[in-house]
Amino acid sequence: MSAPSWWAFTLLALAAFRTFRLLAKDTILDPPRAKLLRLAKDWKPGDKIPKEYRGKLAEFMVCPWCLGFWICVAWWGVWQIWEHGTLVAASLMALSAVVGLVAKLDAED
């Protein structure tokens, strides 16, 4: 096993951040996230929470310390197996993360 260089580390970190945002916060994945948590398709924040709702899983999914750790393990593990391919994929995710962060800063003007 090896440790990533500073450049690979930066790409992997930004890719992990973007993956976390995609899984935990981006609205494009609201439907599968709701299904996983056992919420109705038409459920909206403020509606009554169903009895079979998976609350602990929901907490895990939005926690950067919890889900974020496992996302980092996944990126690092794949990088250990296939360094070049992982960095190519991480580059795309890192670029996406930077665009999102810059757009957020730009929106505050």
For residue range 21-45, list pLDDT tens digits in order: 999 999 999 889 989 999 887 887 7
* 3-class secondary structure, 38: coil
CB atoms within 10 A of CB 32: 10
How does residue 83 score in pLDDT terms, banded at 50, 70 and 90? Answer: very high
The closest alpha carbon to 67, from 25, 39, 35, belongs to: 25
pTM over 0.85: yes
DSSP state of 47: S
Q: Name the residue ranges covered by the structural domains of the chain.
A: 6-107
